Structure 1
Amino acid sequence: MRLSVCLLLVVLALCCYQANAMVCPALLSEILGFLFIDEPVFKLQLAKFNAPPEAVAAKLEVKKCIDQMSLKKRGPIEVALLKIVEKCNK
């Protein structure tokens, strides 16, 4: 089973390397909100995805770590994410 999954991933990487997709604006908003929005507001933002409560709790647990980072350290992460999104949307 594990070998078949690895083989599938390799085949997809080799055959579909030029796949193009637009990044969903809601996803982009969620990613940037993860970096900069306070936890209560971010929890409301996650509600629109109708995710299971366990997934929301896990995301909020990681967000607590991100919230401890200074804004100066979060800035380069934002820049990198926006470059990736820009490249995907071309």
Structure 2
Amino acid sequence: MRLCISLLLVTLALCCYKANAIVCPSLLNELANFLLGNDKLHKILLESYGAPPEAVAAKVEVKKCVDQISLGHRLRLSEILAKIVLDCS
């Protein structure tokens, strides 16, 4: 459960650092893929940004931890993410 809270706080920080911020669609795509996608697609997405291999490997490792969160909790996090985006846009 602690990972869920940390993930939510990081999402809030990235998406709503200003009250009138517009969330980058690419960031939303990456966050949704991070929560609900599979490892292979997430790795391909990260590599498309030209990220260093070490950074991609580290993010994939974190994704493996997130994948251990129950699907219900990950879906709830994605719903919260959607509400954050609507409030910040």
After TM superposition, the runs of 4+ consecutive aligned structure 1 residues lying more than 6 A away are none
TM-score for both structures, normalised by structure 2: 0.72
Give the TM-score normalised by structure 1.
0.72
Q: Hey, what's the Cα distance between the residues in 2 that align with 1:67 and 1:18?
A: 30
Q: Larger relative contact order (C-alpha < 8 A, sep ≥ 6)?
A: 2
Matched residues, percent identical? Answer: 52
CA–CA distance in 2 between the matches of 1:18 and 1:75? 25
Counterparts in 2 of 1:68-87, with a 5 A limit?
68-87=68-87
- Structure-1 separation of matches of 2:20 and 2:47: 28
| Structure 1: gaps of 5 or more residues | 1-16
- How far residue 47 of structure 1 moved from its aligned partner, in angstroms, is 1.7
Q: Is the 8 A contact 2:19 2:88 kept in 1?
A: no
Aligned to 1:36: 36
Structure 2 unaligned spans of 5+:
1-16
* Rg comparison, structure with higher value: 1
Q: Compute the RMSD of aligned alpha carbons.
A: 1.6
2:32–2:78 CA contact under 8 A, matched in 1: yes
